[in-house]
Chain A
């Protein structure tokens, strides 16, 4: 670890680091491991937010994370908790097995749009139908990142991907799926919202949402899902900052941010 000292003009009055308060540092629930994510990929931010929430709620030592198949397949290396790797799409089922066998554990799944909305459609549907006390972090970047940028169920109309080279055509390939709105209709879902990574303000709102989704589990209210509009600079062929703008300008019109379901017990804090 190489630390660059800040370039300050050192005088007798210059305060030293020991005199300053630490405002921000790596959460204990996140390991030091360098991530494999692309530069500017917002997976890194979302991981960190989940870690911050786990620390704030004090549940690190009884948390079990279930990793997806997708770019976040190695998520268990980055969370400083017990974790396991599910088959593609099956994380909600695996998490159900864990939570039903040991209800005192705090169990979360972390899934991409292919994992959750394509192959895993049935597993998330039924975890919600049963109202499993799980927390689901749903990372939506409108493509299949790990396998090189193919079309996802969440790909935007007209969007060019490696398996929709003419642009997504609703007649041939259907329209993007709005999973979170659909799941919110189910009584077993306690918390269902869509947030975004495209600005500092939105990132802060996402953290609050993730915290409420974990609180839904701790209070036994049902399933909490936070869909986070996320970037994929590599497969979108955009620079990281441009990718955030893409979220704001292209994704949000199709996937509006908002609260689709908030259990009354969770509203009390707001």
Chain B
């Protein structure tokens, strides 16, 4: 399936609050078992099925600006599909 969107996660900004995990409609966010530099379990994106649409609700709900959200422009997505 073509990639619609993705997020780049700044691991060390994350405090492991999990608000993003709950709101993600595609269920592609999970908490890592490992720790970041500040001792929290940070969020990680699972793109194994390319489900992220770049909808950005994770960025809306994140208190720590962990996410930079990307989306494929429509024309390019049509070409790739």
Interface residues of A (CB under 8 A from B): 1-9, 13-15, 17, 19-26, 30, 34-35, 37-45, 48, 200, 203-204, 233, 239-241, 244
Closest to B16 in A: A39
| Measured CA separation A89–B8 after assembly (Å) | 39
Chain B count of residues within 8 A CB distance of the other chain? 49
A contact residues around B46 at 8 Å (CB): 7
12 CB < 8 A contacts A-B: A2-B12, A3-B8, A4-B11, A4-B42, A5-B8, A8-B48, A8-B50, A9-B47, A23-B70, A24-B60, A200-B60, A233-B17
Top-7 shortest CB links A-B: A44-B63, A40-B17, A39-B15, A20-B70, A24-B69, A39-B17, A8-B47
CB–CB B18/A48 < 8 A = no
How far, in angstroms, from A42 to B15 measured CA to CA in the complex? 13
Whether the pair B13, A34 counts as a contact (CB closer than 8 A) is yes
Q: Please give 16 more A-B residue pairs, beta carbons under 8 A apart, in addition to A8-B6, A17-B6, A22-B68.
A: A1-B13, A3-B8, A4-B8, A4-B44, A7-B48, A9-B48, A20-B70, A20-B71, A22-B69, A23-B71, A24-B60, A34-B38, A42-B63, A44-B62, A241-B19, A244-B19
* Residue B78 at the chain A interface, CB threshold 8 Å: no
Cβ-defined partner of B76 (8 Å) among A19, A23, A48 = A19
Distance between Cα atoms of A21 and B3 in the complex (Å): 12
With known contacts A6-B7, A15-B76, A20-B6, A37–B63 Cβ distance under 8 A: yes
B residues engaging A (CB < 8 A)? 2-3, 5-13, 15-19, 22-23, 36-38, 40, 42, 44-48, 50, 52, 54, 56-57, 59-65, 67-73, 76, 80
| Contact partners of A17 in chain B: CB under 8 A | 6, 8, 70
Residues of A within 8 A of B64 (CB): 34-35, 44
A66 vs B20: C-alpha distance in the bound complex, in angstroms? Answer: 30
- Cβ–Cβ contact A24 & B56, under 8 A: yes
Q: How far is the CB of A230 from chain B (nearest CB, A)?
A: 10
The answer to whether A240 touches B5, judged by C-beta atoms less than 8 angstroms apart, is no
B23 to chain A: closest residue by CB: A200
List, in ascending order, chain B residues with CB within 8 A of A2's CB.
10-12, 36-37
Chain B residues near A8: list those with CB within 8 A: 3, 6, 47-48, 50
The answer to whether A240 and B17 touch (CB under 8 A), given A4-B45, A204-B60, is: yes
B13 to chain A minimum Cβ distance, whole angstroms, is: 6
Given contacts A20-B71, A23-B5, contact A200 B61 (CB under 8 A): yes
Chain B residue with minimal CB distance to A239? B18
| Minimal Cβ-Cβ distance residue in B for A233 | B17
Counting chain B CB atoms within 10 Å of each CB, which of A8, A30, A203 scores highest?
Answer: A8
Chain A residues with CB under 8 Å of B22's CB are 241
Contact B45 A6 (CB under 8 A): yes
Query: Which of B9, B18, B62, B65 is A241 in contact with, Cβ under 8 Å?
Result: B18
Expressed in whole angstroms, the Cα–Cα distance for A42 and B17 within the complex equals: 11
